[in-house]
Chain A
Amino acid sequence: MSTDAVTTDGTTGIHPGREATVGANVPPGGGGPRKAKRRDEPEFGSYYDLPVINKPAWESPDIPGYLFLGGLAGAGAAVGLAAQGTGRPGLAKVSKIGAAVAGHLSLVALVHDLGRRGRFLNMLRMFKVTSPMSVGSWLLSGFVPAATVSALSAVTGAAPALGTLASAGAAVLGPPVATYTAALISNTAVPAWHDGYEYMPFIFVSSAASAAAGLGLLGAPVSESTPMAFLGAVAGLSEVALSKVHEESIGIVKEAFHEGKAGRYMKAAEALTAGGAVLAAAGGLTRRRSLRAAAGAMLLAGSAFTRFGIFEAGISSAQDPKYTVVPQRERLEKKARKGT
């Protein structure tokens, strides 16, 4: 019976419609739920298997390219200054050119991926520590001019003092440039990017270092590229090792790195990087030009594949609800267990 009454004085017992309860107003006894057989449907673990989070709007090759180029540029600039400082003009030149070109290209990739390219300057509208892309934009806005001046001076020999200053600037900004992209992709809700965020910066710097080493091995005279062989060997091996550890830390999201495009890329990355690292080590010891060149090419390609692989793993992990739901469920259960 309703609580409501229309008395001669007016209405009483009114409740707003939003307080309606379904199925609560059936007096007991009789009736029962529908008795027809129903097709066995799996319990819902998701909404029609649709992803929970939206697919990143970022495109390949723009964004993975940007990640790769940023790493190359950042590490390259640091290598450039070190090479200059240790009397390796050839390596310095290659690295500085590499840093400048990669820096430019990474900007181009970033701008190219913008939905409104004409508004790229808005990147400097704010400075937001919560946004690695904002931080990165500021970094790049300092880094790219510095790397450019540094490279121009190295190529033309003009304004050596300014060149050195610029090289120093680029070298200081270089490691941050190489690293912020790790924070950038980790700082998302994409399981494959976020869930192993502790490892991501280290994977990224390894990858950056192996790319820069690769460039040096490929482009610098053999006489100057020995540090790159060391760097390449160590960075390459750590990149491969870190990727493994990373994958083991992220539960089922690991699958995203092993399936589809991402799986193929990651496999290629592993092979190339590991191979490149071994060759680099060998090249470092033997000083064989061809070996170093091959090692360099493989490291560069390996680094690129790593970025593309991580990128694709992110995309596919965003498109399957299980990567979002299962880890969160586990987390909740853990919390609940702790609670009781």
Chain B
Amino acid sequence: MIRDLIEHWPVLRQVRERDAFGRGIAAKSKQSDNLEPRTANADKVVKSICPYCGVGCGQNIYVKDDQIVQIEGDPDSPVSRGRLCPKGAATLELSTGPTRRYHVLYRPPHATDWERLPLDRAMEMVADRVIRTRREKWQQTFKDKEVRRTMGIASLGGATLDNEENYLIKKLLTALGVVQIENQARLCHSATVAGLGPSFGRGGATTAMQDLQHSDCIVIEGSSFAEAHPVGFQWVMEAKARGATVIHVDPRFSRTSALADVHVPIRAGTDIVFLGGIIRYAIEHDKWFRDYVVNYTNAPQIIRDEYRDTEDLNGIFSGFHEKASAYENEAWLPEGMSQTTDPEDGGEKDDPEYEERLQAVKDAGTAETHGSGGAGMHGSPNTDPTLQHPLCVFQLLRKHYARYTPEYVEQICGIPRDLFQKVCEVVTSSSGRDRTTSFVYAVGWTQHTDGSQFIRAASILQLLLGNIGRPGGGIQALRGHASIQGSTDIPTLFNLLPGYLPMPHAYEHATLDDYIEGEKSGKGFWGDMRAYMVSLLKAYWGPAATPENDFCYDYLPKITGSHSTYDTVLNQMAGECKGYFLMGENPAVGSANAKMQRLGMANLDWLVVRDFSLIESATWWKDGPEIDSGELKTGDIATEVFFFPAASHTEKNGSFTNTNRMLQWHYESKEPDGEARSDLWFMYHLGRIIKEKLAGSTDPIDRPVLDLTWDYPTEGAIEEPNAESVLAEINGWDSEGSPLASYEQLNEDGSTACGCWIYCGVYADGVNQAARRKPAKEQNWLGGEWGWAWPANRRLLYNRASADPDGKPWSPRKALVWWDEEKALWVGHDIPDFTASKGPHYRPPAGATRGEALSGIDPFVMQADGKGWLFAPAGLVDGPLPTHYEPQESPTANPMYKQQRSPVRQIFRHEHNRYHPSGSEPGAEVYPHVVTTFRLTEHFTAGGMSRWVSRLSELQPEMFCEVSPELADECGLEHRGWATIITARNCIEARVLVTGRMTPLLIDGRVVHQIALPFHWGPNGYTQGDSANDLTSIVLDPNVHIQEVKALTAAIRPGRRPTGPARVELVRDYQRRAGVTAETGTEVLSV
């Protein structure tokens, strides 16, 4: 022993091992000798996907002794190549950290604290409440229309969940007659679907992140790419390394700007002026791509001569009905085409119901149904290929944007003319036959009252420049959560059924035939809509769905307007909606007007929260801001609250769909601990219990539930439903039960079942295609054998447009797919987004319908006319061409048109939702500054996945506001001190970060300051602070009901905010000073 000790005595080893100075081998200890990384001795490595954002980085989970010991990037992923951002890198703590909850908690009505409840008992209780509330709040009809629904129950959340989970939520709740099913997509990127869908035929990003490497120029606008999608940003760096110019257009100089070649500061909410200005530049300077435009867009189509532009009507389009605050779009249509959805059907224009119907249809969120299929239209348009006809789309476009001069860009956006000129030059010279520019955006564009039109404007520009469907081109919509694309495709959204089939509308879709005829297009692949719908009904109701009963079509509840999450909040406050499921969403922090979210919840009978930890939406009744201000008293609140601990992504199987429509399977690495369960488990067992409780019921309202197919095999001690069996149902099967390989196999006769037609093929041959993981190094940059992308595994949409009308690549350096004469097939680097055997010279015979009706030069196969839409005759409720309106709250009068705000924006009159005066309206000076909200790399959304994680919290430990030195001087704000920011909704406090990265802008001759607020904080968690969303109001884009949280106005003053009732008093005081009333900012037409 002693000898041993002496022998190993390093002093002797210094001599023996030739390490005289004793700094090397002699000093090495036994422990160091035996060092082994836990990544090397793990029992297994489980393939997974990062649960945070939509980039969808691959992860490897290392498991030892049934415990997760490490989570790292998966180097094989073609998207992430093994890299992770700080959130991805913190996934280990997220899923194994000490702040996770493992027990069910229950708060009885009026109680002051939680109690424990066994899981099975809690499940029974929730099932009972669902059944009770459903019956109590059942609506068989609404204004004489069959609706068969309940407005008593709502559900929110889905973007963090697996596709399979969203599928079960939508399926069960729909069968129960719940229509108020919503998720983050509403708040996040709904405008994307409405912007891209009508333009191109599908509502998803047109490209894949890796393809950015081939861009000659990348314009990042309305996104802080490097901060919100850091791992995806590597592809921008890759492009830069090859010489691409990167332009960042953003109110803030952000971490993205720091790496860009050009940063263009812009006033929030004015991007249409900027983009319109570039459109004008391209047209005036003849920088547009004529061959592309003439052949692939609707530029030659001739619009009806009743059409009147905003130029003619001072800021509004023809067809406006002031009472309904809605457009009737007939005059926008091309000569020769008619529209499928026509509110005129079934009523005369002077019918008193007409306006109501117009409004109801407008509010129904139809724009979002163009997620995979453009607006429905019939007929063939009249065209003028010379583009000379004064009523052709091209000429209308030119006329509309003639007003968008550099002077206006400077005056409205605050962008100096020479800088703007520079951007125009770079963008147009980096586009064309040999070069491609891509646009990248995210919620800096979507979250406006006219956000859909921001995206439309970019779509128009990209079509004009010939940048869609080509390598290095496209529009990259950077979506939010890990599977927000999935929760839009398999929607937990009120207005959609899986695959962007519209949710039936009581006014127009009384029967299956009405529904199909009303929605489908004559031409294009949307023409097969009946097959998709029938297959869905078969997936829901299986054998009960027969041709005789219209495949149970009438089991579907009907919508009658907007039932978005914001409408639900008003319903809650009005006492209509009594039960609420929050499954992975935190509206008490994340949704606009957070106070109203909480007040709505305080009016519920019951609330179910499923999350990892006690987020604000679960605890507002005991420690929310209104308890402090005295607006609510815990003892008065009758809401029963159930908290169910959720299993993390590491503890369940399932698929996420990333921002580029790619499904990636993640595997369970261990069973969840304690009472934590997956949402799949929760929905499945809830459905099972409800079905058991209703068994034998003869009440017709229970039939849809009883007939619902619900027999998923379960596994293990906790009886976890098998996620792959759900995926198989989503994929669909034929009459033999064999998996389908493509949506082209779907039938109208009920012989096929398919839970989401656009996902058909993900389980082709019975193989989970989403789980494919062929390493990036072994394939081309698109990584076609990694995961599975819809549609049909195509990675770059509309890629037919990468070839000229003859089928040859436009340029030898921009080849993607091309027509191979010999093989008589489209071939190339990607799967052609086109009928593979349809040659470029194919022209449809007269009378052809559906896919056959599209010619060899119709790359936008989901469009009714096969063309990219410069002008959108249908599909959007706020106009065929993007037009600049000021945000709901703006420091300036609209210099461009008399119309100040979008006339069709959706407003909510409520005492807690007062709006500010704008521009020259009296009182506007009380809220003089522009506020925009943004994200930090280090935090995630409403904070549920970052404020409880110490690794992330310590990196950004406090809520702060970014202000320019000039504003700080003007208002006496002290760096590192506190500021109070005040709107008519509420006031919050934040630490002050004075930074030259914020710059004042000269707007319409006046200095305008912008204040930037991260929106991640709330009063719970590891790091706590006030929520930016206490300041924001509910005012929505009429197309998709997304809230305007990117541009509002506010007052700021130094110091902390008052607490208690004084907080409310301060807000009222400012309201009084500004003369805010119920009517402020709510006008439809500007006078």
Contacts of B295 in A (CB 8 A): none
Provide the bound-state CA to CA distance between A295 and B1034, in Å. Answer: 83
B241-286, CB < 8 A from A: 241-246, 258-262, 265
Q: Answer whether residue A42 sits at the interface, using C-beta atoms and an 8 A cutoff.
A: no
Provide the bound-state CA to CA distance between A125 and B6, in Å. Answer: 10
Contacts of A16 in B (CB 8 A): 238, 241
B402-430, CB < 8 A from A: 416, 418-419, 421-423, 425-426, 429-430
Are A18 and B237 touching (Cβ within 8 A)? yes
Q: Answer whether residue A161 sits at the interface, using C-beta atoms and an 8 A cutoff.
A: no
Smallest Cβ distance from A13 to chain B, in angstroms?
Answer: 6
Bits for A98-141, please: 1 = Cβ < 8 Å to B, else 0.
00000000000000000000000000111111100000000000
Q: Answer whether residue B363 sits at the interface, using C-beta atoms and an 8 A cutoff.
A: no
Binds A, one of B308-316, B697-705, B806-814: B806-814
Smallest Cβ distance from B735 to chain A, in angstroms?
Answer: 42
Contacts of A7 in B (CB 8 A): 812-813, 815
Q: Which of B239, B780, B1000 contacts A2 (CB 8 A)?
A: B239
Q: Answer whether residue A57 sits at the interface, using C-beta atoms and an 8 A cutoff.
A: no
Contacts of B265 in A (CB 8 A): 34
Contacts of A15 in B (CB 8 A): 238, 241-242
* Secondary structure dominating the interface of A: loop
Q: Answer whether residue B634 sits at the interface, using C-beta atoms and an 8 A cutoff.
A: no
Are B261 and A8 touching (Cβ within 8 A)? no
Query: Which of the listed residues A6, A7, A14, A34 has the most CB atoms from chain B within 10 Å of its own CB?
Result: A6
Provide the bound-state CA to CA distance between A129 and B22, in Å. Answer: 9
Bits for B298-336, please: 1 = Cβ < 8 Å to A, else 0.
000000000000000000000000000000000000000
Contacts of A335 in B (CB 8 A): none
A1-22, CB < 8 A from B: 1-8, 10-11, 13-22
Q: Answer whether residue A32 sits at the interface, using C-beta atoms and an 8 A cutoff.
A: yes
Contacts of A45 in B (CB 8 A): none
Q: Answer whether residue B435 sits at the interface, using C-beta atoms and an 8 A cutoff.
A: yes
Are B241 and A17 touching (Cβ within 8 A)? yes
Provide the bound-state CA to CA distance between A18 and B11, in Å. Answer: 45
Are A6 and B14 touching (Cβ within 8 A)? no
Q: Answer whether residue B887 sits at the interface, using C-beta atoms and an 8 A cutoff.
A: no
Provide the bound-state CA to CA distance between A70 and B26, in Å. Answer: 29
Are B435 and A1 touching (Cβ within 8 A)? yes
Are B23 and A128 touching (Cβ within 8 A)? yes
Contacts of B935 in A (CB 8 A): none
Contacts of B828 in A (CB 8 A): 8
Q: Answer whether residue B472 sits at the interface, using C-beta atoms and an 8 A cutoff.
A: yes
Query: Which of the listed residues A4, A24, A26, A35 has the most CB atoms from chain B within 10 Å of its own CB?
Result: A4
Q: Answer whether residue A23 sits at the interface, using C-beta atoms and an 8 A cutoff.
A: yes
The count of chain A contact residues (Cβ–Cβ below 8 Å) is: 42
Are A27 and B426 touching (Cβ within 8 A)? yes
Are B239 and A26 touching (Cβ within 8 A)? no
Provide the bound-state CA to CA distance between A8 and B828, in Å. Answer: 7
Provide the bound-state CA to CA distance between A4 and B265, in Å. Answer: 29
Are B813 and A130 touching (Cβ within 8 A)? no
Provide the bound-state CA to CA distance between A36 and B415, in Å. Answer: 12
Q: Answer whether residue A340 sits at the interface, using C-beta atoms and an 8 A cutoff.
A: no
Smallest Cβ distance from B633 to chain A, in angstroms?
Answer: 46
Smallest Cβ distance from A162 to chain B, in angstroms?
Answer: 27
Q: Answer whether residue B119 sits at the interface, using C-beta atoms and an 8 A cutoff.
A: no
Are A10 and B780 touching (Cβ within 8 A)? yes
Q: Answer whether residue B543 sits at the interface, using C-beta atoms and an 8 A cutoff.
A: no
Provide the bound-state CA to CA distance between A5 and B242, in Å. Answer: 10
Are B242 and A22 touching (Cβ within 8 A)? no
Are B242 and A26 touching (Cβ within 8 A)? no
Q: Answer whether residue A334 sits at the interface, using C-beta atoms and an 8 A cutoff.
A: no
Are A6 and B238 touching (Cβ within 8 A)? no
Which residue of chain A has the shortest Cβ distance to B829 in the bound complex?
A6
A249-274, CB < 8 A from B: none
Are B425 and A30 touching (Cβ within 8 A)? yes
Provide the bound-state CA to CA distance between A25 and B472, in Å. Answer: 16
Q: A1-B430, A2-B242, A11-B781 are known; give 15 further A-B pairs, CB within 8 A.
A: A6-B813, A10-B780, A11-B214, A13-B242, A17-B237, A19-B241, A24-B261, A25-B243, A26-B426, A29-B425, A30-B419, A124-B11, A126-B10, A126-B27, A129-B21
Closest CB pairs A-B (n = 3): A5-B813, A17-B237, A20-B240
Interface residues, chain B, CB within 8 Å of chain A?
Answer: 9-11, 14, 21-23, 26-27, 213-216, 234-235, 237-246, 258-262, 265, 416, 418-419, 421-423, 425-426, 429-430, 435, 471-472, 780-781, 809, 812-816, 818, 828-829, 964-966, 969, 996, 999-1000
